Amino acid sequence: MSKMHIRTTINGDQVDFLGSPQQSLLDALRDEVGKLGTKEGCGTGDCGACSVIVDGRLVCSCLMLAAEAEGAEITTIEGIAEGDGLHPIQEKFLEHAALQCGVCTPGFIVATKALLDRNPDPDERTIRYWLAGNLCRCTGYDKIVRAVQDAAQELAHEA
């Protein structure tokens, strides 16, 4: 099967890769681009482990074709940290022990970034519904929600 040339911007860098027409963005990120921080938990849009931000929108990369990303700006977990320091969301996930196994964590952090970018002051209910597409089997969500609340406050202070 012949491959297609796809040009995207990933975490600020121009990235060109060859992808097959059926390939999901998730598989392209992992297998063609080497961005292994984005995880696959289901491949069917039900777990959010593969969350990335495409042109400002939070998407499940397993549900999007790589070809659809032509010309798009993509943010993956590898692009969240700022310079040589962690992003406040990452700091707060660590401080609140909001990860146990950590496999859901990239997806949660990307989803949280997308949330706080559009709503800097979400209440608990908003956070829970926004993150309802991200499964975590380890934590029971309590510490994740607290980390997100605390990150929102921290970012508000910084702003």
Partner 1 sequence: MAEAVDYRYVGTSPVRPDGVDKVTGRAQFGADQNLPNMLHGSVLRSPHAHARIKSVDVSKALAMDGVHAAVSGADFPSVQSGEVGGEGGGDVADIAKNVMARDKALYHGHAVAAVAATSVEIAERALDAIEVEYEPLPPVLDVVEAMAPDATLLDDNCFTKNLPEKPDKPSNIASVMVLARGDLDAGFEQADVVVEGEYRIPMAHQGYIEPHACTATVNEEGKATVWCCTQGHFEFRAMTSKILNWKIGDLKFIASEIGGGFGGKTVVYLEPVAVLLSKHAGRPVKMVMSREEVFRATGPTSGSVCRVKIGAQNDGKITAAKAWLAYEAGAFAGAPVMPGAMSIFAPYEIENFLVEGHDVLVNKPKVAAYRAPGAPQAMHAFEVALDDIARQIGMDPLDLRMVNAADEGTQAPYGPKFPAIGFKACIEAAKKHPNYTKPVPEGAGRGVAAGFWFNIGMQSSAEVRINEDGTVIVMEGNPDIGGSRASMGLMAAETLGVPYEQVKTYIGDTESTGFCNVTGGSRTTFATGLAVVQACEDIIAQCKSRAAATWGMDDDQVEWQDGQAVPAPGVNADVSPLSLADIAASAPKTGGPILGRASLNAQGAGASFSVNFGDLKVDPETGAVEVLSFTGIQDAGKAIHPAFVEGQMQGGAAQGLGWALNEEYIYDADGVMENAGFLDYRVPVASDLPMIDTQIVEVPNPSHPYGVRGVGETPIVAPLAVASNAVRDATGVRINDLPLSPPRILAALSND
Contact 145, 127 (CB under 8 A): yes
Q: From residue 159, give the alpha-carbon distance in Å to each of 10, 34, 148.
A: 25, 33, 16
Q: How far is the CB of 51 from ligand FES (least distance, A)?
A: 8
By CB under 6 A, tell whether 116 contacts ligand FES.
no
Instruction: Give the binding range for ligand FES (CB under 6 A) out of 39-47, 66-74, 111-119, 149-157.
Output: 39-47
Judged by CB under 8 A, the residue of 4, 9, 43, 63 near partner 1 is 43
- Interface mask toward partner 1 for 96-115; x: CB under 8 A: xx-xxxxxxxx--x------
Q: What is the DSSP string of 49-117?
A: TTEEEETTEEEEGGGSBGGGGTT-EEE-GGGTSBTTB--HHHHHHHHTT--SS-SSHHHHHHHHHHHHH
Which of partner 1, ligand FES, none lies near 67, with the C-beta cut-off 5 to 8 A by kind? none
Judged by CB under 6 A, the residue of 40, 68, 73, 154 near ligand FES is 40
- How far apart are alpha carbons 76 and 90 in whole angstroms? 13
By CB under 8 A, tell whether 139 contacts partner 1.
yes
Instruction: List interacting residues with partner 1 (CB under 8 A).
Output: 1, 20, 30, 35-44, 46-47, 49, 76-78, 80-81, 86, 90, 93-97, 99-106, 109, 124-125, 127-129, 131-146
